[in-house]
Amino acid sequence: MVPTAAFRVLFVPVVLAHGRQRVAHFKVTEHPTPGWTGEKMIQAFPDGSEPWYLLRDRDRIYGEEFRERIRAVNIEEVITASRSPSQNPFCERLIGSVRRDCLNHVIILRESHRRILARGFDYYHKYRTHLSLEKDAPEPRAIQDAELGELIKVSGGGQHHHYERRAA
């Protein structure tokens, strides 16, 4: 949930692929329904690469319409215990990272500001290091040797930036 400047709440369902902790899909809406959420889950895997399992909590947006869509593509649901965020630590960590790295630094005005999240996820995938990935990003990067040149700050737009080696 993301609060806006007008004190409305936007919902951001996120599909996280556990392998490399990659955000496979996200959308922003003010009024989520089980049908809408099920459709977004199907859209997350347009090429037939859907996972075997879906680990989810007990939120109301996962109603019967959602469950029917998931069963139709043979995804088995694993539902966490009530009020037990520790049963889905990867997603909880992602939500905390997005809040700290992105949402705590800006004021969201409306749904169209989803580009702020898109930029945040781009940074998360390409440059943000993850200890569980041996200090690599979800999109693997080449190691830059010191011989490549001086370390230079590269702006990623907004509050995100990274460093690269460039020849002088």
CATH of the domain at 10: 3.30.420.10
Residue 161 lies in a domain: no
Residue 69 lies in a domain: yes
Q: Do the beta carbons of residue 41 and residue 70 sit within 8 Å? A: yes
Would you give per-residue pLDDT tens digits along the chain (168 residues)? 788 888 888 888 888 887 778 888 888 888 999 999 999 988 888 888 888 999 999 988 899 999 999 999 999 999 999 988 889 888 888 888 888 888 888 888 777 777 888 888 888 888 888 888 888 888 888 878 888 888 888 876 666 777 888 876
User: What local confidence, expressed as pLDDT, does residue 69 receive?
Assistant: 92
Sorted by sequence, the CB contacts under 8 Å of residue 134 that are 6+ apart come out as none
Domain count along the chain: 1
Residue with tokens 């200890």: 131
Quote the CA–CA distance of 14 and 24 in Å, as a whole number: 8
Residue 83 lies in a domain: yes
Beta bridge partners of 3: 9
Quote the CA–CA distance of 93 and 86 in Å, as a whole number: 10
Residue 32 lies in a domain: yes
Residue 78 lies in a domain: yes
Residue with tokens 């702006």: 155
* Tokens of residue 62, six digits: 């996962």
Angle at 122 between CA 38 and CA 70, to 5 degrees: 15
Residue 91 lies in a domain: yes
Range of the domain at 115: 2-141
Residue 167 lies in a domain: no
